[in-house]
Amino acid sequence: MKKIDLEIVALSHSVTQSHNYAVVLGEKVGNRRLPIVIGGFEAQAIAVAMERMIPNRPLTHDLFKNTLDTFDIELKEVVINNLLDGIFYAQLVCARDGNEFVIDSRTSDAIAMAVRFKSPIYTFDFIMDQAGVVLEDNEDEGGTSIIPDEAPQSDSLENLSPKALNKMLEEVLEREDYEQAAKIRDEIKKREEGS
pLDDT tens string 94-107: 999 999 999 999 99
Query: How confident is the model over 168-172, as a mean pLDDT?
Result: 75
Residue 66 has pLDDT above 80, yes or no: yes
**Looking at residue 138, what is its pLDDT?**
45
Could you read off the pLDDT of 71-93 as tens digits, one per residue? 999 999 999 999 998 899 999 99
Query: Could you tell me the pLDDT band of residue 153, with boundaries at 50, 70 and 90?
Result: very low
CA-wise closest residue to 73 among 82, 81, 64? 64
Percent of the chain with pLDDT over 90: 47
139-125-5-13 Cα dihedral, nearest 10 degrees: 70
pLDDT tens digits for 16-64? 566 788 899 999 998 999 999 998 888 888 988 888 888 788 889 999 9
More confident residue, 28 or 163: 28
Residue 188: name the closest of 146, 87, 164 by CA: 164
Q: Which residue has the higher pLDDT, 151 or 37?
A: 37
Pairing between β-strand 3-13 and β-strand 20-27 as defined by DSSP bridges: antiparallel
The pLDDT of residue 173: 73
Q: What residue ranges define each of the domains in the chain, with the CATH number in brackets?
A: 3-131 (3.10.690.10), 136-194 (no CATH)
Say if residues 122 and 90 touch (Cβ distance below 8 Å). Answer: no
125-132: Cβ within 8 A, 24+ apart: 125/1, 125/2, 125/4, 126/1, 126/83, 127/34, 127/80, 127/81, 127/82, 127/83, 127/88, 128/4, 128/27, 128/32, 128/34, 130/83, 131/34, 131/35, 131/83, 131/88, 131/182, 132/32, 132/33, 132/34
Burial, 11: exposed, middle or buried (Cβ in 10 Å; 0-12, 13-18, 19+)? middle
